[in-house]
Amino acid sequence: MTNANLAFVFPGQGSQQIGMLADAAAEFPEIPSTFSEASDVLGYDLWDLCQHGEQADINLTERTQPLLLTASVALYRAWCAKGGARPVRMAGHSLGEWSALVCAGSLVFTDAVRLVRERGRLMQEAVPAGEGAMAAVIGLDDAAVEKVCAEAAGDEVVAAVNYNSPGQVVIAGSKAAVERAIEGCKAAGAKRAMPLPVSAPFHTELMRPAAEQLAPQIESTVFHAPEIQVVHNVHAKPESEPESIKKLMIEQIYSPVRWTACVQSMAADGAETLLECGPGKVLSGLAKRIDRKLGSHNIDTPEKFNEALLATAG
C-alpha cells in the first residue's frame, strides 16, 4: 500500500549510540539479518560493535557510516515486512542519502556498505586530525552566516555546510577559520555558536580530494533508476537518471547539505508526514522547525514502530 502523503527521511552521522536498536532487533528478524549481511562485507561483527563496543569506536567515521546505513536499511526492511505504507518520496541527511538510495531500489545494499566504508575512510583522511573543525550556529539566518564565513575565511576555508533548519546552520573548514567564524557569528547576534565534536570538515572544498578518490568506485558500481523519488542534498530535487545520481553522490561529499530545502521540497510535493528511518529523532526535531504542519515519527523502538504503522496506514 502506498501513502501519497508519506515521506521517509534517513539520518546521518551523529545518530549512532551504543545499544541502539536492541529492542527492535529482538522483535524484527530483518534487523539482525541485515547486520549480518553488512558484517560479511566489512569483515567484522557490526552488531557486536554497536551493542558492546565503545562509543569512541562507533564514532570513527569509517565505522559510523556503514553502521548508520545498515541500521536504516534494517528498519526499512522491517517496515516493509510488517506491511508498512510505502512512501512516494525519500531524502537522507548527508550519509543518509545513501540509505535512501538503497531503500528506493537504486543501489544494492552490499555495494552501498562497501562504498560508505570507503567514503568514511577517505573523508577522515582528507584533512589531518586537528586541522579541520565544524561548529553549529543557532539563531542567525543563512545569509548572515554565509557573510560571516566569507569575512572569516581569509586564505583558509570556512563555509556553511549543513542548512539544517531555519536558524540552525553548521559551518566547517580549517580550524582557525572556523574559530574566527564562531566569534564573528556571536558578534553578528547568534544565540549560540559552538564547536562540534567532529575532527573532519565535512561538506567543504577540503573534502574534494576524498570525492575524487571515491569517484572511480562510485562510477564502477551499478546504480538503477530509483523506484521511489529521492530528493538530493546538493540541489534539493529528485533525480531519476543513474549516471546523474552517481555525479550527485560524488559532488555531495564537498557540497553543502541543503536539508531545509529538501524537506520543503517534499512538503511542497504533498508530504504531510515524515517518518525517520534510523536511530534517534534528530530529523524529526528538525522537521518541526522547518514546517510546523508536518507530522513526524521515528521508528527505532518497537513501540514507536508500531505507533507509526497505525498512524500511516491511511
Q: Which residues are catalytic?
A: 94, 203
DSSP, collapsed to helix, strand or coil, labels residue 192 as strand
CA dist list (Å): 91 to 12, 86, 284: 11, 14, 13
CA dist list (Å): 291 to 88, 135, 297: 19, 24, 14
User: Closest Cα partner for 34 from 81, 90, 1?
Assistant: 81
User: Closest Cα partner for 72 from 43, 33, 47, 100?
Assistant: 100
Within 13 Å, how many C-alpha atoms sit on residue 244's CB side?
A: 12
User: Closest Cα partner for 126 from 173, 196, 176, 181?
Assistant: 173
C-alpha to C-alpha distance for 99 and 271, rounded to whole angstroms? 19
Give the count of beta carbons closer than 10 Å to the beta carbon of residue 32.
Answer: 15
C-alpha to C-alpha distance for 273 and 85, rounded to whole angstroms? 12
Q: What DSSP letter does each residue of 80-115 carry, written as one string?
A: HHTTPPBPSEEEESTTHHHHHHHHTTSS-HHHHHHH
DSSP, collapsed to helix, strand or coil, labels residue 271 as coil
Cα 308–chain centre separation? 21
Measured distance between the N- and C-terminal CA atoms of the chain, rounded to whole angstroms: 9
C-alpha to C-alpha distance for 71 and 78, rounded to whole angstroms? 11
